[in-house]
Structure 1
């Protein structure tokens, strides 16, 4: 034992404690006696590094089983008396799969009527209340036509086979979104072109792939046509949505220019949809369609029964107090506020932000890219209040809007129906609250005539007329608010300047 201990602790060998970090000894100086051994040491080091490192092999995971091919048998809908199924029409399986993905089962009345005529190749004129499914009706008919008819062998990128014209940017984007959902399994390309967004980015879409379905506003579409980027000679299906609104907004001269570039009306299928069948709309339909089927769905009530409608008689000076207190005291989380003028929308939104309510505005003065971000934020719940003109009254489908507030009553009773239709969607309950002031109370009788019902007009409860509390804001919060207001003012000024330049350009061309 003693010999072993001596051997272990012999001079020159002192074991380091196991918990101390090992320090490499300094390299010994190279002497003639050691120089000959350096190459041998280097070789051993190189050999050591050249050895493959041993790593633990992860156990391979079993591959997931292959997905079961979809078949129409996976979409089983039982026949029901008085209802029409999508199965009752000869629709392609790839389209039926997308219809199932959207949660559709039975057709709405206008869908059943439209498909019954358009799938036979007839032109059609349709009128139906907003939210009845007319967009899906003309998209399903169009997609079926494109899938059953092969595309031409000779075709350029900018030659759409189906063209959908709508009056507002929001409506175009909504239709394009619905079209993308319904073509998910069909191999068709959808593009949406609107003004106010980067022209070159939209042009790049045409350079990358063929365009099967093009949805566009009249002005931006004419820009592409006049520059030779889009050619409409291969259009098989032409759809005009909200023709009455295009008349009101002065777009019909532009629409005429567009239609002249498409095949003759006997060589294309034309579908025209309108909220009203005025004489002007019917005259246009005679010019652009051939023996169209007339599809007119009269709702039992113009306004959904899921919407509770209230009207407060309030002076103009008390409107903002009433708005603020309704939002804060009722703890509204997702509400749309409508006003008639763009400057009014801007002032309401700025006051709400100043008083600590997360609000944004949507009007023709707001650039399109910001309008898209605003709608996305509102849809995702990042915005509490969206203040808008009637540009948002149609074509915006956002679930979960609990309240619509008419800060001012619209001049057109139809716009009232479209506004309040933003709530109470998909079977949910909703509430509409309208402010009838001394300047707009005279709009109530035409609205009541359209609704076929009397709207009770009552004074607001005193609790809703409390003064708006002064918000104590930090310097940082005030700076952010001022920056947002400055950005909005600059965007509005730039938009007005662009509009002025376009008008000047049109005068020059004349």
Structure 2
């Protein structure tokens, strides 16, 4: 009895019984093992190099044995149903627009879409859902802010609601997996997923590095995981410890595949994908801002006869963003930044720099000079990032200084100005940066500092935009010395 208790405490995985009859036979461990052996040739890496260690295999087997002997966990209580009816969500047909009513979506999903105020699909949602709701794999090219997150979430939720969960199920076996490159993007996707599953009996979990591992583990052990959103590194941590098993993944999404390539995450993603069912037995959706040869090669490996959806933005940069470039010496950039913010009394500004050390120095100088600022880079722990974003949203922090990687997944309303302290080397990053302002129909302003070290980056940006940006000399009052604080 003492040994059993210890095993329960150690593993904490209980086998759950679904209230709904499964539409498919329950998956057993043996077929999955066979599938994984077949999948070993899927990757170009050698099978020997990628085979799981005997210790990990033993740990996984012991964990599942312990789960079978443990007392089944109680199923979640169904979420209360209110008096909402689909008739309450009236959207008139409009020429050239696709309504969510035009797809066969579950009432609980439509209720959540109604609450979010989305009457019509964005172009990528309309095209992607036309394929994915029929079970087809898809590759989508779209920029941030086009609605691609909702597109793949609606597809996932529909699949999970239509297909009852298997009878033999463990707490750490997600049915849908979303992999994203940055912590901020994972948090944002998980928030959107929670909003869309508000009336559905589905649990959303997010795993990111920099957060307390034990807290995330306790959450995993407390209830079934239906939709898991994770960064590659933290997901591998859970998987290699035997806490998360990916053999029941029905839908897998790879978001911002081009960014994952740039950040060197593809080897980790390969390891993760080898733990999922074969590509013919799962639905795979891949999204990228660009379709490079590398991205398309990955898509060919990981998808089966995918639909290819490309959405060209009406404008590369939003018309709601007014763009300026100041020609300024590198030694005067900080004075210009300080005076712009202080003299205009701006209260919600994002400043971008190319390197983490630049971000740190800018934040330290602004704070020293009396302007509330915080930094957002790979060096900032996740728990602090969340507090920083809350402070920025609430106006307690006036200036958020970020790198491109850290700022990619930040969606904060009412950012009045974006300042490029250094111009990005990749023109696409410029579009992503200025897209932090002028959102949801509001107007915003982008100001870029072009110095002797980064002015070369301006012509490629103008080529991407398809137009010239007038280069101005800053007024003398914006180059005044920064007053010293005593």
1:348 match: 362
Matched, 1:377 2:391: yes
Q: Aligned partners of 1:211, 1:118: CA distance in 2, in Å? A: 22
> How far apart in 2 are the matches of 1:287 and 1:68?
45
Aligned match for 1:124, one of 138, 142, 148 = 138
Indicate the RMSD between aligned Cα atoms, in angstroms.
1.1
Tell me by how many angstroms 1:393 deviates: 2.9
SS at match of 2:446: strand
CA contact (8 A) 2:378 2:406 kept: no
CA distance in 2, matches of 1:392, 1:253: 21
Q: Superposition pairs for residues 131-146 of structure 1, below 5 Å?
A: 131-146=145-160
Q: Which runs of 5 or more residues in structure 2 are unaligned?
A: 1-79
Match of 2:221 among 198, 207, 215: 207
Aligned to 1:408: 422
2:379 is the counterpart of 1:359: no
Alpha-carbon shift at residue 392 of structure 1 (Å): 3.2
1:181 aligns with 2:187: no
| Structure 1 residues 68 and 285: CA distance shift in structure 2, 3 A | closer
Contact 2:183–2:209 (Cα < 8 Å) also in 1: yes
SS of the aligned residue for 1:432 comes to strand
CA distance in 2: counterparts of 1:231 and 1:314, whole angstroms: 54
Q: CA deviation at 1:379?
A: 1.1
| Superposition deviation, residue 183 in structure 1 | 0.4
Counterpart for residue 477 of structure 1: none
1:321 aligns with 2:356: no
2:316 alignment counterpart:
302
**Aligned with 1:424: secondary structure?**
coil
Aligned residue for 2:404? 390
Pairing of 1:45-64 with structure 2 (within 5 A): none
Q: TM-score, normalised by structure 2?
A: 0.83
Q: Normalization by structure 1: what TM-score?
A: 0.79
Deviations 1:80-126 (Å, cap 9, x if unpaired)? Answer: 11100000000000000000111111000000001011001100000
User: Please, which of 306, 331, 351 is the counterpart of residue 292 of structure 1?
Assistant: 306
Counterpart-to-counterpart distance in 2, 1:402 and 1:167: 27
Query: How far apart in 1 are the matches of 2:176 and 2:406?
Result: 25
The offset of 1:130, in angstroms, is 1.1
Aligned partners of 2:430, 2:142: CA distance in 1, in Å?
A: 16
**Which residue in the other structure is 1:338 paired with?**
352
* 2:116 paired with 1:102: yes
The answer as to whether partners of 2:376 and 2:407 remain within 8 angstroms in 1 is: no
Q: Which has the larger Rg?
A: 1
Of the candidates 452, 462, 473, which is equivalent to residue 438 of structure 1? 452
CA distance, structure 1, for counterparts of residue 289 and residue 308 of structure 2: 13
Structure 1 ranges of 4+ moved more than 3 A: none
- Contact kept? 2:208, 2:231, Cα under 8 Å: yes
- C-alpha distance in 1 between matches for 2:295 and 2:372: 41
CA distance in 2, matches of 1:387, 1:275: 23
CA displacement at 1:67 relative to structure 2: 9.4
Give aligned pairs, total.
407
Q: Distance in 1 between matches of 2:115 and 2:395?
A: 24
1:276 counterpart (280, 290, 293): 290
